Amino acid sequence: MFRLVASKAPLSNIAARNAAAKTVRAPVATSLFRFYSTPADTEYDVVVIGGGPGGYPAAIKAAQQGLKVACIEKRGSLGGTCLNVGCIPSKAMLNNSHIYHETKHGLKSRGIDVGDVKLNLANMHKARVKAVTGLTRGVEFLFKKYGVDYVKGTGKFRSATEIEVAGLDGSESVLKTKNAIIATGSEPTPIPGIPFDEKRIVSSTGALELPEVPKKMVVIGAGVIGLELGSVWSRLGAEVTVVEYLDAIGAGMDPELAKTFQKLLAKQGLKFKMGTKVNSAEVVGEGVKVEVEGAKNGKTETLEADVCLVSIGRRPYTEGLGLENVGIELDNRGRVVIDSEFKTNVPNVRCIGDVTFGPMLAHKAEDEGFAVSEMLATGHGHVNYDVIPSVIYTHPEVAWVGKNEKELKDAGVKYRVGTYPFVANSRARTNDDTDGMVKVLVDAETDRMLGVHIIGPNAGEMIAEGGLALEYGASGEDVARTCHAHPTLSEAFKEACMLASSGNAINF
């Protein structure tokens, strides 16, 4: 279902601004890439607080439409958690650890004999940093290209139209603006009584930067972050135990895929303690002792490890924003309360991304950044929250978009299922990478696509076709009748749609 929104008070002189957007404004030379003081007569159309995956696209999109924009970022490096200490560096580590593991264990069966394979963790970290640095510099270039004033410092509301900035260089200034966008993101949630020291008890940030491979690692939380980073260190040689309070891994995942996923990860060497809560964790000497308890039987156990990764979720980050100075409302979970137009209870202040409602996903924040800037410039914009994909970048990858079976059953929707295994797919066979399946859910009466769930090679890339099908209301038959190149992994999606639509596939 689309969320269509229209602003009741779009900015004046939009036509002129849109015309101006066809040419790139020259950036203010003194303001880019360092802190600066704004002249008293300077007023921005939009000031974005936060330069992460929601904030920087919002700033660029607004500037492309002719608005005068500044973006405040306290990290001193654009891209937010995602680019600096989240999505991007973790994918670098996931990819490189997979290559290492395959080289060490998986090449002989492919006819490739190699000598003694050694891990150079320092160089692997350098590769991670290189990926991050290249992308952060790329965003800075885009700010320069589109005339976004990049302000390095911490923003704080003085009023609804004035934002104090404490610069990273120690200076202070005030930005005047007609509109503000809060895009400050989120931070790791600690367990009460178990503080992060980022050496022995680490958040995702610390887990990305471990100087050596731990012999034993305990991961608290079997969500996306815990499973991805647990997989990284398992491949590199750590003995990894995942502790999860719930009875299934991957919150939000289709139950059938979750069971398959856990079996595949266990086959790779990860150990799981499901239905288990953590009572305490403390650093003892050169390690960590974690006391856990069965949620049902009450049996306690002490796990010993070199490193404990706490990955139980994230929480909105609003510290130091000065929201109390303008009376911006938060809910009981610390999220900024917004309406369907991203407006807070202060009409000219809007909010997007992790710091407000919805899944904490970079691509969700990005779409909201586009939409909120379109609203400010043109009076309309939208985000379709029913078609936001989720991906876990382990091996195999897991990806899904739309509804799962439990959600459809709970809603009383009649549906059909088409499940096609990768073992029957030609390209998966040639790649000797056949674990997993594609599962498609369609409406039993109309054949309209309701959900797509994939576990297998390149699932994160394949899910885009499922999202496109859902976005445009495609039926199972629509996809089944669309020619897919052979041999490709995408043929598994086509055949799953054939099964869901007609009950028959060709190769299974």
Interacting residues of 163 by C-beta distance below 8 A, sequence separation 6+:
47, 49, 72, 155, 156, 157, 174, 175, 177, 180
Q: Which residues are annotated as a binding site for NAD(+)?
A: 221-228, 244, 313
Closest by Cα among 362, 354, 349, 421 to 389: 362
Q: At what angle do helices 491-502 and 459-471 cross, to 10 degrees?
A: 50
Q: Which residues are annotated as a binding site?
A: 91, 155, 184-186, 221-228, 244, 313, 354, 360-363
Bridge-partner residues for 281, per DSSP?
A: 290
Name the helix (H) or strand (E) containing 338: none
Cα-trace Rg, the chain: 24
Per the listing, tokens 């930005």 go with 175
418: which 2 tokens?
A: 């088409």
**Rounded to an integer, what distance in angstroms lies between the CA atom of residue 419 and that of residue 439?**
4
Bridge-partner residues for 382, per DSSP?
A: 4
344: which 2 tokens?
A: 């807070």
**Rounded to an integer, what distance in angstroms lies between the CA atom of residue 270 and that of residue 227?**
9
Bridge-partner residues for 419, per DSSP?
A: 439
Helix (H, G, I), strand (E, B) or coil at 264: helix
Helix (H, G, I), strand (E, B) or coil at 248: coil
Closest by Cα among 460, 428, 388, 466 to 94: 460
503: which 2 tokens?
A: 């009950």
Residue 453 among the catalytic residues: no
Q: Which residues are annotated as a binding site for FAD?
A: 91, 155, 184-186, 354, 360-363
Q: Would you give the DSSP letter of residue 465?
A: H
Per the listing, tokens 């959900």 go with 451
Handedness of CA 286, 273, 189, 126 (dihedral sign): positive
CB atoms within 10 A of CB 123: 10
Handedness of CA 11, 16, 22, 24 (dihedral sign): negative
CA dihedral 239, 243, 244, 249 (to 10 degrees): 10
Closest by Cα among 70, 173, 87, 174 to 128: 87
Closest by Cα among 74, 291, 277 to 185: 74
Catalytic residue among 101, 125, 453, 486: 486
How far is residue 485 from each of residues 158, 350, 427, 469, measured CA to CA in Å? 57, 44, 11, 17
Per the listing, tokens 């991670």 go with 128
- DSSP codes, 72-124: EESSSSTTHHHHHHSHHHHHHHHHHHHHHHHHHHTSGGGT---------HHHH
Bridge-partner residues for 173, per DSSP?
A: 165
Q: Which residues are catalytic?
A: 486
